């Protein structure tokens, strides 16, 4: 009862400003300082990853530019080639700052690609279920429920165990592990929308199911899909790092952040913390910033949860 704006007698009194839904969304999103900062942090990370070749002192995977003599240097050391390694170097002499930016390219690619593909596939399956209804819908949803009763990390682990290493394979594994979350989201929206009057009215008017699915259900599941998408992308990035850390994800030739952290693991017990810690911080900033954005998106896009 302490919820002020939820009270029906009150909502009538708030003057309605004329603005587009997007403008309102934007205004509400940037109301939260934390979310704004998180979005800025994530934007910078993406930018740094894209610009990596132009803003790093070395290409850590060009053997000609890496010298083993630079191995395991602490942060701030000077490299053989004269530049400063602000974050130190790893076991084989790569500048960590450069390695992290290059690693972010791979991690972000895997995370975003698997996120988008899983979204599209999950959405398609969810829409098919909503369109078909009846038995087909029941069967699809049982499969979704069954898969969701297992943690995504375990499903992904099993998939990479079957598929092997490599960027394409890990993307496939992540898609398989995550499509069901999107399918469930679409279906939840479909259930709500179907119960609404306008859809019932549309059905009475003899408007085709196809139209109902694409004109009514699809647009309405966009908001929840975006929220689930951000959270799942963060989790995909984190999952890839985990799998790579365990040695079953990406190979050494495609060193994502997870691979970098794994490489530093062996040095950690001897006090050379930086080789694992700095890539870890990069991962942390990425995942936390996406999650904070997602958390706030949920508040903004879901009127029921609005404070």
Partner 1 sequence: MTVFIIRRLLQALLVVFMMSVIVFFGVNIVGDPVYMLVSPDADQADIEAAISRLGLDRPILEQYWLFLKGAAQGDLGNSFIFGEPALKLILHHMPATMELAFSALFLAIVIGIPLGLYAGLYPDGMLSKGIMAASIFGFSLPTFWVGLMLIMLFAVELQWVPATGRGDIGSFLGIQSSIFTLDGLSHIFLPALNLALLKISLAIRLTRAGVREAMGLDYVKYARAKGLSTRRIILVHVMKNIMIPVVTVMGLEFGSLIGFSVVTETIFAWPGMGKLLIDAILQLDRPVVVAYLMIIVLFFVLINLIVDILYSILDPRVRLQDQGA
Partner 2 sequence: MSAVLDVHGLKTHFFTHAGVVKAVDGVDFTVSKGEIMGLVGESGSGKSITGFSILGLIDPPGRIVEGSIKFNGEEIANAKEERLQGLRGNRISMIFQDPMMTLNPVLRIDTQMMEAILAHESVSKQTAWERSRDALGLVGIPSPEERLRAYPHQLSGGMRQRVAIATAFLNKPDLIIADEPTTALDVTIQAQIIHEAQKLTKQTGTAMIWITHDLAVVAGLADRISVMYAGRIVEQGGIDDVIDRPLHPYTVGLLGSVPTANRRGKRLFQIEGMTPNMLDLPRGCAFGPRCHARTDACDQQPLIKDIDGRSLRCLNPQRAPEAVK
Interface contacts to partner 2, rule CB under 8 A:
1-2, 4-5, 7, 9-10, 12-14
Segment (H or E) for 302? none
Contacted by 158, from partner 1, partner 2, ligand ADP, none: CB < 5 to 8 Å by type: partner 1
Beta bridge partners of 84: 78
**What residues contact residue 61 under an 8 Å CB cut-off, 6+ apart?**
102, 255
Contacted by 13, from partner 2, partner 1, ligand ADP, none: CB < 5 to 8 Å by type: partner 2
Residue 143 CB, nearest approach to partner 1 (Å): 9
- Between 205 and 244, how does the x/- string for binding to partner 1 read (CB under 8 A)? -----------------------------x---x--xx--
Q: Which of 188, 267, 273, 299 binds partner 1 (CB under 8 A)?
A: 273
Count CA within 13 A, CB hemisphere, residue 296.
20
Strand segments (E) across the chain: 77-78, 84-85
Secondary structure class of 78 (helix, strand, coil): strand
Residue 3 CB, nearest approach to ligand ADP (Å): 7
Residues 190-219 that bind ligand ADP (CB under 6 A): none
d(CA 61, CA 95): 10
**What residues contact residue 67 under an 8 Å CB cut-off, 6+ apart?**
79, 80, 81, 93
Please say which residue, 2 or 20, places its beta carbon nearer to partner 2: 2
- If one asks whether residue 35 binds partner 1 (CB under 8 A), the answer comes out as no
Q: Which of 248, 259, 260, 297 binds partner 1 (CB under 8 A)?
A: 248
d(CA 254, CA 248): 12
């Amino acid at each position: 009862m302490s919820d002020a704006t939820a009270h029906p007698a009150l909502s009538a009194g708030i003057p309605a400003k004329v603005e587009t839904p997007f403008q309102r969304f934007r205004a509400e999103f940037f109301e939260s300082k934390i979310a704004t900062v998180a979005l800025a942090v994530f934007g910078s990370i993406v930018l740094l990853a894209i610009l990596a070749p132009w803003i790093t002192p070395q290409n850590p995977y060009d053997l000609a530019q890496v010298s083993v003599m630079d191995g395991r240097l602490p942060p701030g050391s000077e490299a053989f080639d004269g530049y400063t390694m602000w974050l130190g170097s790893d076991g084989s002499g790569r500048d960590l700052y450069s390695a992290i930016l290059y690693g972010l390219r791979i991690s972000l690619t895997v995370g975003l690609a698997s996120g988008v593909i899983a979204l599209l596939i999950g959405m398609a399956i969810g829409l098919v279920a909503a369109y078909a209804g009846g038995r087909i819908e029941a069967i699809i949803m049982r499969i979704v429920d069954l898969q969701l009763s297992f943690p995504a990390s375990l499903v992904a682990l099993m998939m990479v165990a079957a598929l092997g290493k490599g960027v394409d394979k890990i993307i496939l594994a992540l898609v398989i592990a995550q499509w069901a979350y999107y399918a469930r989201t679409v279906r939840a929206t479909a259930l709500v929308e179907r119960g609404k009057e306008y859809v019932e009215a549309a059905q009475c008017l003899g408007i085709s199911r196809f139209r109902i699915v694409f004109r009514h259900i699809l647009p309405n599941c966009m908001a929840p899909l975006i929220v689930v998408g951000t959270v799942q992308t963060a989790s995909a990035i984190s999952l890839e790092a985990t799998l790579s850390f365990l040695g079953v994800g990406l190979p050494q030739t495609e060193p994502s952040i997870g691979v970098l952290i794994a490489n530093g693991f062996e040095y950690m017990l001897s006090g050379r913390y930086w080789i694992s810690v700095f890539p870890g911080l990069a991962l942390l900033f990425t995942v936390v910033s996406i999650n904070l954005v997602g958390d706030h998106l949920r508040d903004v896009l879901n009127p029921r949860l609005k404070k």
